């Protein structure tokens, strides 16, 4: 991981955090735009979940990892606690690999 990328992300994030308090007397952002930004961020995360779950270096990451993420997804949709979701994802993937599934 590149320290320069970390610094750029940190500086940009801080700038966006500070801009609101500095500019709040001068502008208003419409609620529609606010929602659209929120949706865009969720779409990015969703795309990250499917690529991170199914792809490794441009290739299919294997049934074990996809299986782990799918089971975790079902648990998350049923309102399971975060810790459980993450642990089950890892456990299912590890067990599938132990059983020789790719």
Partner 1 sequence: MRSLWRTMRSLWSDKLIRDLAALIPALAVVAASLGAIAVTKGVPLWLITFTAAVVFAGGSEFMLVGLLTGGAAPATAVLGGLLLNARHFPYGLAVGDLLGSGWRRLVGSHLMIDEAVAFALAETTHARRRRAYWITGAALFITWVPSVLLGGLLGQALGDPNAFGLDAALPAAILALLVPSLRDAPTLRAVLAGAVLALVTTPVLPDGMPVMVALLGVALALPVRRSPEQEVAQ
Binding mask 81-100 for partner 1 (x = CB under 8 A): xxx-xx-xxxxxxxxxx---
C-alpha dihedral, 87 to 89 to 90 to 92, nearest 10°: 110
Q: Which of 69, 99, 100, 102 binds partner 1 (CB under 8 A)?
A: 69
Task: Compute the least distance from the CB of residue 38 to partner 1, in Å.
Answer: 6
CA distance 80 to 93: 18
CA atoms within 13 A on the CB side of 49: 13
Task: Compute the least distance from the CB of residue 7 to partner 1, in Å.
Answer: 7
* Residue ranges in 1-40 that form contacts with partner 1 under rule CB under 8 A: 1-10, 12-14, 16-24, 27-29, 31-40
* Residue ranges in 45-64 that form contacts with partner 1 under rule CB under 8 A: 45-58, 61, 64
Task: Compute the least distance from the CB of residue 101 to partner 1, in Å.
Answer: 12
97 to 42, 57, 63, 84, 100: CA distances (angstroms): 31, 19, 9, 20, 5
């Amino acid at each position: 991981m590149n320290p320069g990328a970390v610094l750029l992300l940190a500086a940009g994030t801080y700038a966006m955090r500070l801009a609101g308090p500095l500019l709040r007397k001068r502008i208003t952002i419409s609620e529609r735009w606010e929602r659209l930004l929120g949706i865009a961020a969720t779409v990015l995360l969703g795309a990250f979940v499917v690529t991170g779950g199914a792809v490794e270096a441009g290739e299919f990451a294997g049934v074990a990892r996809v299986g782990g993420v799918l089971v975790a997804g079902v648990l998350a949709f049923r309102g399971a606690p975060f810790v459980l979701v993450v642990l089950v994802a890892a456990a299912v993937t590890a067990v599938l690999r132990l059983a020789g599934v790719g």
